[in-house]
Amino acid sequence: MTGSDSGTDADAERADGQTPDSAVEPRRFFFGLHSKAAGWWFLLAVILAVVAANALLAHWSAPDRPREVGSQSGSAAPAQPDPLQATSIAQREFGQLSGGGWAQAWQLWSDSARGTLTQADFVRLNTECRPALGVPYVIDSTTTIDATTVAVAWHQAATAGSSTVVYENGAWHFVPDAQTLAAYHQGVDRLISDRKAAGQCH
């Protein structure tokens, strides 16, 4: 075969659309790498999608846990009032009374007790007819009547009495004894006059 014949055969192959093996091999290698890279990218995308889905599930489920705890605590019975706090309120009240803190003592009263005498009248009563100051009140005993009521027996020098501490509006409040409340209903003017006549003012 002559050189002209070889050239003719190569031209014939190119004319027939066939590619020599030396040109096909690089293309096969290139497409093989491309396929492998695409496979790795696809696997990476799947992994990222799984991680993102788990993160979303964790985010959605996390707020539900506090609600479950809150619902359980909400269904539980509320804490009962502590009778020891009732005794503490009585001690504060008596401390204000023996020390001349009339306005502060009135603020510790229950709603019903405040309804018998205003704060201003209570301050006026004890200012114009001042009781003996500096004589401490002593709590002799406390008795729990029910979950929201504690009776307090006390004495101040030779005077003895019994008051009540009640739990209302989320806190303990002092209630003077029934005889004192009845006197408050008479009005501050008459009460001052009666106490002065009885020599109870100092």
Average pLDDT, the chain: 79
pLDDT of residue 70: 41
For residue range 126-179, list pLDDT tens digits in order.
999 999 899 999 999 999 999 999 999 999 999 999 999 999 999 999 999 999
pLDDT of residue 42: 65
The arithmetic mean of pLDDT across residues 193-197, rounded, is 94
Q: In the chain, pLDDT over 90 holds for what percent of residues?
A: 58
Q: Cα 93 to the chain's mean position, in Å? A: 29
The pTM score is: 0.61
Classify residue 173 by its DSSP letter.
E
Looking at residue 37, its amino acid is A
Number of separate helices (H) and strands (E) present in the chain: 9, 4
Q: How confident is the model at residue 80 (pLDDT cuts 50, 70, 90)?
A: confident
For residue range 96-113, list pLDDT tens digits in order.
999 999 999 999 999 999
Classify residue 28 by its DSSP letter.
H
Is the per-residue pLDDT at 39 higher than 70? no
Q: How confident is the model at residue 87 (pLDDT cuts 50, 70, 90)?
A: very high
Handedness of CA 103, 105, 108, 113 (dihedral sign): negative
Residue 109: count of CB within 10 angstroms of its CB: 20
Give the tokens for residue 196: 């002065």
Is the per-residue pLDDT at 49 higher than 80? no
